[in-house]
């Protein structure tokens, strides 16, 4: 399959696809969101529901951007910790 660096070079590493929250509330919250969206779908006109979907898409985009920034920051912090640990003289 190749080294980690080769996988990164060829674009075969997708950290966002490996994230699976284990918090039991995560699934419950997603179910609640789905039910709420479905109830709005029944209550709103087609135009209003389209506007709601656009808002949800925008929220998804900002969440994705935030997640990418958090991942990048966490990776940098981890690398800095490794530099500090490996550079420490005993």
Distance of CA 17 to the CA centre of its chain: 9
Q: Are 71 and 15 in contact (CB under 8 A)?
A: yes
Q: How far apart are CA 78 and CA 9, in angstroms?
A: 21
pLDDT of residue 62: 97
Taking only the tens of pLDDT, the chain with its 90 residues reads 578 888 888 988 888 888 889 999 999 999 999 999 999 999 999 999 999 999 999 999 999 999 999 999 999 999 999 999 999 776
Task: Kindly report the pTM of this predicted structure.
Answer: 0.72
């Amino acid at each position: 399959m190749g080294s980690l660096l080769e996988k990164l070079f060829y674009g075969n590493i997708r950290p966002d696809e490996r994230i699976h929250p284990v918090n039991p509330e995560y699934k419950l919250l997603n179910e609640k969101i789905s039910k709420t969206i479905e109830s709005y779908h029944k209550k709103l006109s087609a135009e209003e529901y389209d506007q709601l979907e656009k808002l949800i898409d925008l929220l998804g985009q900002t969440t994705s951007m935030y997640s990418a920034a958090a991942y990048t920051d966490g990776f940098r912090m981890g690398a800095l910790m490794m530099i500090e640990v490996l550079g420490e003289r005993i």
